[in-house]
Amino acid sequence: MTTSIVVDNVTKSFRYQYHRTLKQVLTKKTDADASDRFRALDGVSFEVQQGESIGLMGLNGSGKSTLLKMVSGVMTPDEGQVLTRGRISGLIATGAGFHSELSGRDNIYMNAAMLGMTKEETDSKFDDIAGFADVGRQLDMPVGNYSSGQFARLGFAVAVHVDCDIFIADEVLAVGDRPFKRKCLKRMKEIRESGITMFYVSHSAASVKKMCDRAIVLDKGVVGFDGDVEGAIKYLHYDGDDDEPDAEESEVDERDEELANDI
């Protein structure tokens, strides 16, 4: 078996940012500065084998996106290291790397280049990418005028057409309408079945269950659980053991379940 991702004792701290009073700025309260940092990730370690499909779960603010940024190389750890093998593609933040003044068409070329595709490669895949994004005549409009869903469509369309070894998807289901979500999940299933390592962040237990064979739960910046998806869902109490969900919550869960079963 080939190792695809190694995350070795990774720590990342951020500073609490708040507006200071003029007095605080002028007196430069350095003692407060040191204690104003917190660890978004604290000694995180795990390994992923090529072809594994990992669900990355955890409550809001637990460090998932920060970890994905390290794996994709857009952020470096303060301590520890992250090693990856091969080309990485995926959608980390909606609209990241897009230029608002340029059209969707131009942004496809720019985004594809950033993900390592040559102009010839993009030329040959352009129709498929545009077809997947399916933003109609908006393709030739500046993306600054796109809706958040249209942004996501364009970004995801490029990402899924890159030949890669590791595919990263952060909250694909958070934006986009239902037909597009279904299309994304279907495409991700194909990616997974082709032996590409997949790292999938989601709060939806149903889609992680459908898509992944292992789940890592981040709990306030540390690995709280690493194992089978059922265990992760239990760890997070997403299995309904806790409080009774209200009617709206149940409806959302059912919609997720239905969507996951569609693919």
Ligand X SMILES: Nc1ncnc2c1ncn2[C@@H]1O[C@H](COP(=O)(O)OP(=O)(O)OP(=O)(O)O)[C@@H](O)[C@H]1O
Nearest to 183 by CA among 211, 153, 158: 153
Is the Cβ of residue 42 or residue 52 nearer to ligand X in the bound state?
Answer: 42
Is the Cβ of residue 40 or residue 191 nearer to ligand X in the bound state?
Answer: 40
Q: How far is the CB of 38 from ligand X (least distance, A)?
A: 7
Q: Are strands 197-201 and 166-170 parallel, antiparallel or unpaired?
A: parallel
Cβ neighbours of residue 116 closer than 8 Å, sequence gap 6 or more: 87, 89, 162
Is the Cβ of residue 18 or residue 179 nearer to ligand X in the bound state?
Answer: 18
Q: How far is the CB of 127 from ligand X (least distance, A)?
A: 33
Q: How far is the CB of 102 from ligand X (least distance, A)?
A: 26
Is the Cβ of residue 69 or residue 192 nearer to ligand X in the bound state?
Answer: 69
Q: How far is the CB of 109 from ligand X (least distance, A)?
A: 29
Is the Cβ of residue 61 or residue 116 nearer to ligand X in the bound state?
Answer: 61
Q: Would you give the end-to-end CA distance of the chain in angstroms?
A: 28
Q: Enter the tokens of residue 164.
A: 């890669």
CA 22 to each of CA 19, 28, 188: distance values in angstroms, whole numbers, following the listed order: 9, 10, 51
In angstroms, the CA 123 to CA 108 distance is 10
Q: How far is the CB of 150 from ligand X (least distance, A)?
A: 21
Residues that bind ligand X (CB under 6 A): 14, 40, 58, 60-66
Q: How far is the CB of 236 from ligand X (least distance, A)?
A: 12
DSSP, residue by residue, 70-95: HHHTSS--SEEEEEE-S-EEEESSTT
Is the Cβ of residue 13 or residue 103 nearer to ligand X in the bound state?
Answer: 13
Using a 10 angstrom Cβ sphere, with 0-12 exposed, 13-18 middle and 19 or more buried, the burial of residue 188 is: buried
Using a 10 angstrom Cβ sphere, with 0-12 exposed, 13-18 middle and 19 or more buried, the burial of residue 23 is: exposed
